[in-house]
Amino acid sequence: MMTTSASPAPIRLALAEDPLSSASPAPWIGPLIALGTRAARFFRKQQGRQLIVAISVPKRDFAATLVAVGWVMAQAAPRLSNPLEVLRTAEPGSVVRVVTERDVIVDRFCRLNEEKDPPRLHLSNSQWQVPRIRAVQVLDAAELDQPIRMAHPEPGAIGRLARAGEGWDARLAAPTADLAIIGTRTWLQEDFDAFLSREGDVETERPKELLEDLAKAKEKGKSYRVTVGHGALLDVVLPQSDQSSTCFTTLYAAARLADKLPLRTDLNAAILDGGGAIKYLAQIETPVVICILDRSVADETADDLVIQIRNTRGEPLLLCDDFGWRPPTGVEALAFTVAL
């Protein structure tokens, strides 16, 4: 095989199951993230029809999560006014999301005290020096059962690769939560706990939250558990939960999906991980759908369903031309659009 391209060797990415063990590089990690990114770009360019992409992988592990990471990282950061200006116009009693260096908090706004130097923000449950606030957003939600405080998500190596840098805090404050991930919840949550890095890179600066939790676990003799703020894939996927103060995605268990349809209409994309999720393909109306077919499962019902929709209602696309994306070795891919 010959390659005619003169571009430099692509960056190889690596995954690790815990933050201290060495990461295993693999040629399929980067392309799966890239697929999510390309799908997000395609979505912004062409609307009006539903895009369906199906890839088959030797085994489902990590595929949906990596595609989700790509989708999330492709989102543009919103332009937010500086925190002091936002707080000056905020109505007392309104619900705000506040991003600081260490936390993301959703709480009720009480008042802004500018008589102090530096100015001070009073929430129902905590107080903050305004210069320590990186981003703030007033939310539409009128109801709030209780304040939520979550560690500041750290995008780590992916953030550096995607140059998320400055926009990250604005995104945490005013997130675009337009992606649904549907599959086996337990397996997806295991996937979210993996750590991504560039091949050969040694993580020099670890998130403080991670170091503290590792120390705590060691002290108590308990096993370490990944949470938001540790720099795992979880920090980028940021699924919605009762304990999350900000989120980029909504996770649905395929086994319970039948009782949840139709999906929210503000979702732009859905990743269907495995046959249990793909069987609902005809009932998913998000503008973008990405199906992960697990070839290690003998049941080909999901594959047949995708092909049936492609052949009866679809207009095929070429991923290599229309997306500029080629599947890595071991991955098959097809794409088409259907009328919504």
**Choice from 82, 124, 125, 301 touching another protein (CB under 8 A):** 301
Distance CA 3, CA 137 (A): 49
The tally of CA atoms less than 13 A away on the side-chain side of residue 328 is 15
Q: In whole angstroms, how close is the CB of 283 to another protein at the nearest point? A: 6
Give the whole-angstrom CA distance, residue 124 versus residue 146.
9
Q: How far is the CB of 57 from another protein (least distance, A)?
A: 8
Residues 257-286 that bind another protein (CB under 8 A): 258-262, 276, 279, 283
- Residue with smaller CB distance to another protein, 61 or 103: 61
Residue numbers 44-103 binding another protein by CB under 8 A? 54, 56, 58-59, 61-62
Count of residues making up the chain: 340
In angstroms, what is the minimal distance from the CB of 75 to another protein?
A: 26
Is the four-CA dihedral 189, 192, 193, 194 of positive or negative sign? positive
The helix or strand, by DSSP H or E, that contains position 277, with its residue range, turns out to be: helix 275-278
Please state, in angstroms and as integers, the Cα–Cα distance from residue 71 to each residue in 13, 43, 59, 66, 67, following that order.
Answer: 17, 10, 21, 9, 6
Rounded CA separation 14/248 (Å): 23
Site for another protein in 124-163 (CB under 8 A): none
Residue whose CB is less far from another protein, 142 or 298? 298
User: Taking contact as CB under 8 A, which single stretch among the options 73-81, 143-151, 242-250, 315-323 is the one that binds another protein?
Assistant: 315-323
Residue 107's beta-bridge partner residues? 96
Stretches 77-85, 137-145, 215-223, 328-336: which one binds another protein (CB under 8 A)?
328-336
CB atoms within 10 A of CB 72: 28
Q: Which is nearer to another protein, 172 or 251 (CB)?
A: 251
Total chain residues near another protein (CB under 8 A):
59
| Pairing verdict, β 103-113 and 148-151 | antiparallel
Tell me which stretch binds another protein (CB under 8 A): 19-27, 42-50, 126-134, 229-237.
Answer: 19-27
Q: List residues binding another protein (CB under 8 A).
A: 15-17, 21, 24, 26-28, 54, 56, 58-59, 61-62, 184-187, 194, 253-256, 258-262, 276, 279, 283, 293-301, 303-307, 310, 316, 318-320, 326-334
